[in-house]
A and B are shown apart, each in its own frame.
Chain A
Amino acid sequence: MAKLVGGLGTSHIPAIGGAIHKGLQQDPYWKPFFDGYPPAQRWLAEVKPDVVVLFYNDHGLNFFLDKMPTFAVGAAPVYNNADEGWGIPTLPPFRGDLDLSWQVINTLVDQSFDITTCQELLIDHACTMPLKLFWPQGDCPVAIVPVCINTVQFPLPSAARVYALGRAVGAAIKSWDSDKKVAVIGSGGLSHQLDGARAGFINKEFDAQFLDSLVSNPEWATQFSIYELVEKTGTQGIELLMWLAMRAALTAASPCVRKLHSNYYIPISNTATGLIVLEAA
């Protein structure tokens, strides 16, 4: 059976792509952010996952409001990045893993998740930036299975529902008849708000509680409604749902996890940025 080695959570911000492209990692504005990543890169170089299941939210690259799935799972051999409209460089295609995609799809539907299956899927910065941050050199060594969760149009799935989805994805990985090593990634957050008179809202205290909860009390955030989470973390802080799905997936591997590394820095763009590396204990 496949091995679920651990999970990572990271923020994704379009400007990261520009900074990488321009080589600004040691620029004073960017340094506290990029300096968080080498420990995560070293751990990944050590455990060498073959595939990652990546929970992210599309920002209007692949999905428009004409058809907006709550949960969508990629089932493509190759995932292309494309112009998102604001000038960040387009990245080369990323490899998929069709066997794991269908294992996840079959398991989720069997577990009563009415997902959308995507044999073509454009992946935006939310999916590509974590891969560039974790594997900055050369071609990306892992294949990917993208799982997109709607954060664009309400109603959004509840934190409890996302947690259940993550658990089912973890079960799919654990029961996959393969000798491959799999990691899970949650891409988004932490607290931030781009729109409205409350733009620039950040909640350091809540972020700290959330990061702590991921280690020892992973269901903690499921007590909150979507509106409560928007109030506490901002309209885009709700992307913490991706981290929650990632953490829930790890419950399939092990009753507890070991935190190997974390980083938290305010602000990049309008965002309180976070990073966590969790090993299945």
Chain B
Amino acid sequence: MASFEPFWGDFAVTTSPPKIPGTTPFDEVQARKGYALNKMCYSFNSAENRAEFVKDEEAYMRKYGLNAEQAAAIRSRQVLALLAAGGNVYYLAKFAGIFGLDVQDIGAQQTGMSKPEFQAKLRAAAGR
């Protein structure tokens, strides 16, 4: 069989990753900050848990130990606030799903556009 050199690559560590406008990579800082919030949102894979949250949001947030910033962000339904509180978009999408919001709804919300405006922005990227 073919043999491969182990990949040794370049061990230089990037100490300060470049800033990308309007973008918060889910890195160590976010992962540490957002654990409780993300754990709660991960629980929304289960229909039973979604129902329990809808029945008593405050009790459900207490059960997962959300901090004040995270709880306020959940109450506000604002995705940018949820991201700032350490939320990861893959888990937040399950929270948005409870309200029937799709990714264009949350895209519009985060960019301060109406949904038709956001859809037009997407089409413009195609040159249409």
Which residue from B9, B18, B102 sits with its C-beta under 8 Å from A269?
B102
- Write the nearest CB–CB distance from B91 to chain A, whole angstroms: 5
B31 contacts A153, C-beta separation under 8 Å: yes
- Write the nearest CB–CB distance from A99 to chain B, whole angstroms: 16
- Write the nearest CB–CB distance from B72 to chain A, whole angstroms: 19
Q: Does B66 contact A (CB under 8 A)?
A: no
Q: How far is the CA of A161 from the CA of B46 in the complex (A)?
A: 34
Which residue from A60, A61, A202 sits with its C-beta under 8 Å from B122?
A202
Q: How far is the CA of A197 from the CA of B110 in the complex (A)?
A: 5
- Write the nearest CB–CB distance from A111 to chain B, whole angstroms: 5
With A60-B88, A65-B39, A86-B94 given, can you name 8 additional A-B contacts, CB distance below 8 Å?
Answer: A60-B45, A85-B45, A85-B98, A86-B93, A194-B107, A199-B110, A227-B18, A266-B123
Which A residues touch B80, using CB under 8 A?
Answer: 196-197
Q: Does B27 contact A (CB under 8 A)?
A: yes
With A60-B94, A112-B7 known as contacts, the answer to whether A267 contacts B18 (CB < 8 A) is: no
Q: Does B20 contact A (CB under 8 A)?
A: yes
A-B contact list, 19 entries, CB within 8 Å: A64-B42, A84-B45, A85-B44, A85-B98, A86-B94, A87-B97, A152-B88, A174-B2, A194-B106, A195-B83, A197-B21, A198-B21, A200-B118, A201-B22, A204-B125, A227-B14, A230-B20, A230-B23, A270-B122
B125 contacts A202, C-beta separation under 8 Å: yes
Which residue from B24, B100, B123 sits with its C-beta under 8 Å from A195?
B24
What count of chain B residues pass the 8 Å CB interface test? 59
The DSSP consensus for interface residues of chain B is helix
What count of chain A residues pass the 8 Å CB interface test? 55
Which A residues touch B107, using CB under 8 A?
Answer: 194, 199-200, 270
- Write the nearest CB–CB distance from B112 to chain A, whole angstroms: 8
Which B residues touch A167, using CB under 8 A?
Answer: 4
Which residue from B83, B96, B119, B122 sits with its C-beta under 8 Å from A196?
B83
Which of chain B's residues 95-128 have a Cβ closer than 8 Å to chain A? Answer: 96-98, 100, 102-104, 106-107, 110-111, 118-119, 121-123, 125-128
- Write the nearest CB–CB distance from A201 to chain B, whole angstroms: 8
Q: Does A183 contact B (CB under 8 A)?
A: no
A200 contacts B111, C-beta separation under 8 Å: yes
B4 contacts A111, C-beta separation under 8 Å: yes
- Considering only CB atoms, which chain B residue lies closest to A111 in the complex? B4
Give a binary string over B14-32; 1 marks a CB under 8 Å from any A CB, 0 the rest: 1001101111111110010
Which B residues touch A265, using CB under 8 A?
Answer: 126
- Considering only CB atoms, which chain B residue lies closest to A193 in the complex? B23
